[in-house]
Structure 1
Amino acid sequence: MTFGPIPVVLATSGHRDLLDTEIASIREALHIEFTTLRKQYPGTRFQLLNGLAEGADWLIAEIALEHSIELMAVLPMPQAEYEQDFSTPETLAKFRLLLSKAAEVQVAPMPRYLACDPSRDASYQALGICLAQQAQCLYALWDGSTENSLPGGTADVVRLCREGIENEDNPLAQPETCQVRHLRCNRKKNPLAYTAEDASSWAPAITDAAIGTRKCWSEIFQSIEDFNQAAIKIQEAAPHEIVESRQWLTGEANYPSVIESSLQTFAIADALSRSKQKQRSTTLWLLSLLVFLSIFFQQLHLGPDMQWYWLTLHIGFGLIAFASYRAFFSGTRNSEAQYMDWRALAEGLRVQACWQAAGIDECASKYYLSSQNDELGWIRYAIQNITKTGNTALTDCDFPWIKSHWLEDQKKFFLSGGSSAASKQQKVIKWMLYSRFLFFAGGTTTLLLLLKSIASLPSQLLPWLTLLAAILFVLAAICRNHTNLMAYEEDANRYQKMGNLFSRAIIVLDHHIEAGNTESAKSILKFIGKEALAENGEWLLLHRQRKFELPT
């Protein structure tokens, strides 16, 4: 299957009674905006959630289609009922024309607390909530007035986007916010809201830390773009890696197209992260070698053989080490961060695909990295944007496949595989032993130097012993730094915990399946999925805080 780039979801809200005299300038501003988006993020798909109300919604929909942005119609109520809002045959015909151009049509889901309210206001309020929850950027064609705000009106939608909406299923999570791009517009009910100079111009972005600055949103969009560009390259250069990753998760099983997007994006994220992991391992060893050689030649120059070429080699290897470090570890989108982010994305999609196979109509993004409203939020948005809850879960629960390809595979990974808890613990012991041995050897050599008169050491040997002591201490520091950077000890403890949880989940799941309790079995899978998401989030935050440090 060809990969469809992870989309960025836009939304629109605006007045139905825009001034005719401002339409041309509004069109121009939107054309410039969408052209800029396309240039900044050429590998990314854009989708526009649009209620297709008369006025601003129609205007933005037309311009978005001209820029090949997918129109996603989100109606506040079923079409037949919604069409009562259009008072003339001409407006109804235009609504139906735009609706026919939509890539997807859905009715906004009703939140639980509005489910008992049959009014049209409640339906429009549900639409506003849907736009604020699903979009990463809202285009508001708005007069800026908050007086007499109606439920689901533009002012209400802007407020929801800026303040955020609490997660009904995860109330402790940070409310999800949405960037607001406010295009200042006058309307027939308020024709003097803005001067002629300010009308049809973008209002300054609000930079409250609680809702995220425009820079932060740009980083999120850029992270999605970087993944999409990398996905295109690996599909061309190493498609077998994607096939291999997919087979690890699905085996020979085939699934309907409704969950194909999650499976395929998982395979690409997994293949990309494995590629970056290999690059990371090579870079770490290369850096350690370069640092060692630089210090070795420095000590050689300062000690037994003060030749200019040793100093030259010291400086040369030091500069190469610095350049390598900058290339892999520096910058907001460095290769180290991409490896971790793409690994975290793959693990989130693993849970998502397995939930879908179990018939669990939930989006993993609700429970993943929920406290991260910074640039890491792109992982959550990526999962949300490729997952359409409401129609993605399988009708029949494939419990045997889930048990074999998720629970048992993860149990094996955490408890008995090459990266298991026991393996991590062995690596802790091994590298700590190396570090202590080298430190002890360096200390012993230093002691010999201090007792040189008693030990009757030849004077010509002393500079070489000094060099040896320095090198041993450097090697001890490199081993210690490697253990700290790889977080073997912390990973060993977490892997043991997760392995035990997956073992227990298999036992409990079998009991519920044998008893015919399908819903109870689903609840077990949902619980273990949440635990896996929490563990993956902890892994990401732990390793992002660990930086490669030059031994000193």
Structure 2
Amino acid sequence: MAPEDEAQLHALVKNRLESLKNEYPSTPLLALSGLAEGADMVFAEAALELGMELVAVLPAPREVFARDFQKPTYPARTAEDLTQRFHNILARCSDRVVVGEGRHAQEPDRYTYVGAYLVRRCHVLFALWGGAEPDSEGGTGHVVKLAREGVPNRYRESPLRALDSPDPVTIHHLISPRKGAAVENAFTWKIMEPAEWAAGACRAMPANPLSALESFNKEACAFAARHPNAIEQSKGYLGLPEEELTRAERRIVHGYAIADAMAVDCRDKSNRTLLVIYGISLFMLLGFAVYSNVFPHTWLHAVYYVAFLLGCGLYVWDKWKRVHMRYVNYRGLAEGLRVQLFYRLAGVRNLAADLYLRKQRHEMAWIRQAMRALEAGPRRNEPQSAVVLTRWIKDQADFFKGARVRDAKKIRWFTWYARVGFWAGLFCGLLGLFVEIGNYAAHDSILLHWLFMLMGVFPAIAALIGSYVHRRGLEQHVREYDKMGAMFCQAAELVECDGLMHKNLCTHEEHMPERQKHTGFQLLVRELGREALADNAQWLMLHRELPPTLPSS
């Protein structure tokens, strides 16, 4: 980027950022920049002028990186001005991240680590670039290629599996001349969206993950104004003093608390809707049975249809408001952020988003991208192993054990009610048969009408109870709670009884650089997080198929 073009490019970038802020007014925009000479600095300064939070992503410690400015790309820039400009921007950054740690300062691919970090954590990639094919690693063209084709495993915290596809990234390409070379349509924007959006690869997928995120944030703002105590209560579940957390960790905690509180609110609404629908169905069943067998009054017939319309209206309202789907999605986001938070506290370098919802790459992309964006920031130097053991492993073990007992108790009661209904219907049928055979009452007597009506009503009520239990997914919950409770209990025992926290069990990581190795405790936390994410993904997909609906057996 030539110095004489900077002012025009700065104005264009600022205007585009401003339009994004207007398009997504409820979503706070977080800017990430490598702060290299030229486009990186222009983007960073435009973001700061708009009051955006800026995170610097550097290929080396700042003293080492600042040496790059000793040889400016353009003679019109001086080393002193570039260095001063770099330090001025860096001083205004909320955080700084050094990627590719431990690599030699002159390695050519150190800038690729920066590009990979940006691509993996951004929703929108700004590329100020002439559009030529990349001729070297680490340049803008190569970073665009990473965004479109995926980041190679050598630059990732977690290796991409063979059948995984990269999450979509929108590229805002500002066509920029370089070193005096003329380019067509200079100083104009070109939007490069993922191919699967244009192809409509998945009907359930939102047109843009940012749109789903904006919907979440818009609702979150309204919810926070109405229920501030609910959010604080969700933060309290984690039991982590905010003053002891890094900025990125506080960002994750805040995101978790909002998602968790909103999930609880939507869950309660969804469960109430389901319960009312089944209550209306029971009322309709009783009304129709009484009308057709005992009291054939017109008003009972009319009440049946009123109840039917009321139940249908409630079902349509829940589907229109997407209460159940919001509950499932927000629960999924909250649990993903919980694992990511404790990964950071334990010093595990993997991103939870890379291990989460692998089979739902498109429709759930906004959840994974939100997780990655909130994670942007430097990692702590000293792992908080004791905190992870107490506030995650032990707490989750207690939660799963308690939840299993709670839902198993519900299943026992509902099973008992269903059995009572079945046997009560059988009893009423046999009693009616006995009365009729013994001529204890006339065939069309009111007693026999009641008995034969109840013979059908009680088993129908039992079937409604069974349908309700299935719709709540209680049996699947008990199985999953039992499995996960045992897993977290076993992990706690390994740490406390076997002293795993102080052991180094990295035999399969011996070939890796020291900075990339995990301790035995970190390997355990990583595996535990992987299992927790897989379990939650299974729960999420189960409940996506079990929204409140009209009863069926």
In the alignment, which of 333, 358, 368 is matched to residue 370 of structure 1? 358
Q: Deviation of residue 285 (structure 1)?
A: 1.3
User: Any conservation in 2 of the 1:108–1:126 contact (CA below 8 Å)?
Assistant: no
Matched, 1:459 2:444: yes
What are the superposed Cα offsets for residues 45-97 of structure 1, whole Å, 9 maximum, x if unpaired? Answer: 11222334555445544544454433333344543123135344647637744
CA contact (8 A) 2:175 2:190 kept: no
SS in 1 for 2:164: coil
| Secondary structure of the corresponding residue to residue 39 of structure 1 | helix
Q: 1:538 maps to which residue? A: 538
Q: What SS does the aligned partner of 1:202 have?
A: strand
Asked if structure 2 preserves the Cα contact closer than 8 Å seen for 1:108 and 1:130, the reply is: no
Give a deviation string over 1:431-469, Cα, whole Å, max 9, x none.
Answer: 344335434555676788899975765325466566545
Distance verdict in 2 for CA 1:71–1:246, change over 3 Å? closer
Does the residue aligned with 1:181 lie in a helix, a strand or coil?
Answer: strand
How far apart are residue 388 of structure 1 and its match?
A: 3.8
Partner of 2:305: 315
Q: Is the 8 A contact 1:135 1:178 kept in 2?
A: no
Q: Is the 8 A contact 2:34 2:114 kept in 1?
A: yes
**Corresponding position of 1:249:** 238
Preserved contact between residue 274 and residue 549 of structure 2 (Cα < 8 Å): no
Q: Does structure 2 retain, via aligned residues, the 8 Å contact 1:512–1:521? A: no
- Give the whole-Å Cα distance in 2 for the aligned partners of 1:283 and 1:191: 63
Query: 3-state DSSP class of the match of 2:109?
Result: helix
Is the Cα–Cα contact under 8 Å of residues 95 and 377 in structure 2 kept in the other structure? no
Q: Is the 8 A contact 2:158 2:350 kept in 1?
A: no
Q: 1:268 aligns with which of 258, 271, 280?
A: 258
Identity level (%)? 25
Distance 1:64 1:243, change over 3 A: closer
Q: Distance in 2 between matches of 1:20 and 1:398?
A: 51
The residue type paired with residue 539 of structure 1 is: W
Aligned match of 1:348: 336
**Counterpart residue identity of residue 273, structure 1:** A
Q: 1:72 is paired with a residue of what secondary structure?
A: strand
- 1:481-514 superposed Cα distances (whole Å, 9 cap, x missing partner): 2211222222222222222212221221024438
Equivalenced residues, count: 521
User: Where do 5+ consecutive residues of structure 2 fail to align?
Assistant: 505-518
**Which residue, out of 412, 418, 421, partners 1:438?**
421
Q: CA deviation at 1:193?
A: 3.9
Q: 1:515 to 1:470 in 2, by over 3 A?
A: closer
**What is the deviation of 1:237?**
3.4
Q: Could you say which residue in structure 2 is the equivalent of 1:286?
A: 276
| C-alpha distance after superposition, 1:2-29 (max 9, x if no partner) | xxxxxxxxxxxxxx369969958x9569
Distance of 1:180 and 1:542 partners within structure 2: 30
Q: 1-side partners of 2:538 and 2:198: how far apart?
A: 22
Q: 1:153 maps to what in 2? A: 139
How far, CA to CA, are the matches of 1:36 and 1:239 in structure 2? Answer: 30
| Partners of 1:344 and 1:403 in 2: CA distance | 22
How far is 1:156 from its partner?
2.0
Q: CA deviation at 1:44?
A: 1.2
Instruction: Give yes or no for contact 1:292–1:475 (8 Å, CA) kept in 2.
Output: yes
Q: Do residues 404 (structure 1) and 360 (structure 2) align?
A: no
Match in the other structure for 1:8: none
Letter in 1 for 2:530: K
Q: Which residue identity lines up with residue 299 of structure 2 in the other structure?
A: Y
When residues 220 and 454 of structure 1 are mapped into structure 2, their CA distance, relative to the original with a 3 A threshold, is farther
1:210, 1:509 → 2: CA distance? 49
Aligned to 1:45, what secondary structure does the other structure show? Answer: coil
Partner in structure 1 of residue 121 of structure 2 = 134
Indicate the SS of the match to 1:370: coil
1:263 Cα offset (Å): 3.3
Q: CA RMSD in A?
A: 4.0
> What is the TM-score with the length of structure 1 in the denominator?
0.79
Partner residue, 2:21: 38
Unaligned runs of 5+ in 1: 1-15
> Cα gap change, 1:459/1:42 in structure 2, threshold over 3 Å: closer, same or farther?
same
Cα pair 2:294 2:449 within 8 Å, conserved: yes
Distance 1:344-1:495 versus aligned 2 partners, 3 A rule: same
The residue identity in structure 2 corresponding to 1:46 is L
Q: Is the 8 A contact 1:435 1:480 kept in 2?
A: yes
